[in-house]
Structure 1
Amino acid sequence: MNKTVFITGFLLMTMILLGFSEAVNWKQAQARQNNNEVVNVYGPGGPLGPMEELAKQFKKETGINVNVIGGAEAKWIDQAKQDADIIYGGSEYMLRDIMLKYPGMIDEKTRTELYPRAAGILVRKGNPKNIQSLEDLAKSGVKIIDVNGAGQLGLWEDLAGRKGLISRIDRNIAVSVKTSAEAIELWKANSKYDAWITYESWHYRLKNETDLVQFPEEDKLYRGTPVSITSSSDNKKESKQFIEYLKTESSHQVFQKWGWK
């Protein structure tokens, strides 16, 4: 009798342990699957604010991790070649430039335009030079930072050309750099620079260091914010899901909060 009870108990315990082991293995497999479900997103620093905010919201709503890496292209392009699922641009020409430099990296069929953003003028807090218009940037003594790249290539010239101010604004450009990160570093380090013709959206990243002078609507210049899935992505389904999420009205409102139209 005791032997029978012992054997029965042993068998029950074995079954329980086997069941527990299977449950643990299943949970571990699920955890591995969830950890692998990471969408890697790369792009310039301009749209980084809304992209990061929406990545966090997307994770809360879907459980899918979105890892956003933003900044100067040179800092992330090598890693992006290895594991990027999505690439976004700070303007249409920026994404096109990546497509030309790295043929086959981007799946052109997935290219999607999100929201446009307008150019504006960043000035010092309190606007000590009383800069109110593009014409004011042509006045003697105004020192301008120019970003000759990073989505801003030719931005000031397109604006100035409409008003016949190209040569007068050009002579007031005190320094030209390739990236917004360089412009920000100069702006913070040296108060001699009075203005930076860039996107309005940068003011929302630099509220403590800048005031924003907006152009009248009829003078505004807009550039786009494209996004695309990479050809080598292992997470195409999740990447498409995230891009669709970026196109929702609630996501549009987040972009608007950061200075997009």
Structure 2
Amino acid sequence: MKRLFLMLGLALTLFGRIMYAQATDDGTVTVPSHHSVTQTADKPESLTRSRGLTLVSQPSHAAEPLHVYGPGGPAPAMKAAAAAFAKQTGVEVDVTAGPTPQWAEAAHGDADLLYSGSEDMMSGFIAKFGDQLVAKSAEPLYLRPAVILVRPGNPRHIRGITDLLSSEARVMVVDGSGQNGLWEDLVGRDGDIRQVKALRRNIAAFTPNTAEALKRWNSDPAIDAWIVYNIWAIAHPGVADIVQIEPQYRLYRDCGVVLTQRGEARDTVRQFVQFLEGPQGRAIFGQYGWTDRAGQAPATTSDAMQ
């Protein structure tokens, strides 16, 4: 009996050595053909052939999401583009939006891409984040026009900037968040200081960012008109009607993107930027009131919601 057990042990040892010798140099272990299980060590998803057997390896982990940060204004379009990109590529894009102080600390840790609401804001990002950003990668994407938002139905019958100069309408402006000096640039275009004086007399509220302005608009019905970008009415249907600003006063400001050092090293981040600049990104941004040509009619609330 002891001799029988000894012979069995020797046979098992020999079988184990044979199986070990069948391991390939790249870490793929083959098993006899009557087994259905294969195993690979740290290989990307692919088909591998070894000794006439097809071995399928699985990815060890999903691709890390892209981390994108920026202001609230372009956020609806950026999030829609991120969702479309994820559906097409399988790479998730986490978009964090709001006033810069709310996300700056997190962005210092993991940002791949920042997006801005104006060239002034982009310059501020480059100054604030310094060497974390690849300044030369900053790229304008799309423009949106400044407009006048009025109460639904336009009860004050405001038709443009000239009505804000001559009437006693109570006007709200944003003094920050990509709109620094926007109202002054609008009425100062023809060099007539009387127009700047007239509009300033009618400004009843200055807000630091557009999110605060939206709160004020919703809580203070005494505000008759709000100078802001068209995208805010499109993203919040029903809160206001859009009155286009006369061509001689109309201004546009852009949304742009800039890579971080971390993002520059990731192919998927550059692919996302290309997606934003391409036909699909252009169509998505267009639905939210953005354009790449000043002569193109900006979207209205109803256009964007269709």
TM class, shorter-length? 0.7 to 0.9
Give the percent of matched residue pairs that are identical in Structure 1 and Structure 2.
Answer: 34
Q: Which stretches in structure 2 are left out of the alignment for 5+ residues?
A: 1-7, 20-30, 46-56, 292-306
Are the counterparts in 2 of residues 85 and 235 from structure 1 also a CA contact under 8 Å? Answer: no
Q: CA deviation at 1:30?
A: 2.0
- Within a 5 Å distance, the mapping from 1:1-261 to structure 2 comes to 16=35, 19=38, 22=40, 30=59, 32-34=61-63, 36=64, 38-163=65-190, 164=192, 165-233=195-263, 236-261=266-291
Runs of 4+ in structure 1 over 6 Å off:
23-29
Q: CA deviation at 1:131?
A: 0.7
Structure 2: distance between partners of 1:209 and 1:258: 15
Structure 2: distance between partners of 1:198 and 1:147: 7
> C-alpha deviations, 1:101-160, integer Å up to 9, x for none?
221121012111101111111111111111111011123431111110001111110011
* Amino acid in the other structure paired with 1:239: V
Which is worse superposed, 135-144 or 121-130?
A: 135-144
- Tell me how large the CA RMSD over aligned residues is: 2.7
Alpha carbons of 1:26 and 1:214: their partners in 2 closer, same or farther (altered >3 Å)? Answer: same
Alpha carbons of 1:32 and 1:112: their partners in 2 closer, same or farther (altered >3 Å)? Answer: same
3-state DSSP of counterpart to 1:32: coil
* Amino acid in the other structure paired with 1:55: A
Structure 2: distance between partners of 1:89 and 1:239: 16
Aligned residues: 252
Structure 2: distance between partners of 1:141 and 1:224: 31
Q: Which protein, 1 or 2, shows the higher relative CO under an 8 Å CA cutoff with sep ≥ 6?
A: 1
Structure 2: distance between partners of 1:213 and 1:105: 40
3-state DSSP of counterpart to 2:262: coil
3-state DSSP of counterpart to 2:95: strand
Are the counterparts in 1 of residues 69 and 111 from structure 2 also a CA contact under 8 Å? Answer: yes
Query: What TM-score comes out, normalization by structure 2 length?
Result: 0.75
Structure 2: distance between partners of 1:196 and 1:241: 37
* Amino acid in the other structure paired with 1:115: Y
Query: What TM-score comes out, normalization by structure 1 length?
Result: 0.87
Are the counterparts in 1 of residues 187 and 249 from structure 2 also a CA contact under 8 Å? Answer: no
Q: Which has the larger radius of gyration?
A: 2
Q: Which stretches in structure 1 are left out of the alignment for 5+ residues?
A: none
Q: Looking at secondary structure, tell me which structure has more helix per residue.
A: 1
3-state DSSP of counterpart to 1:213: strand
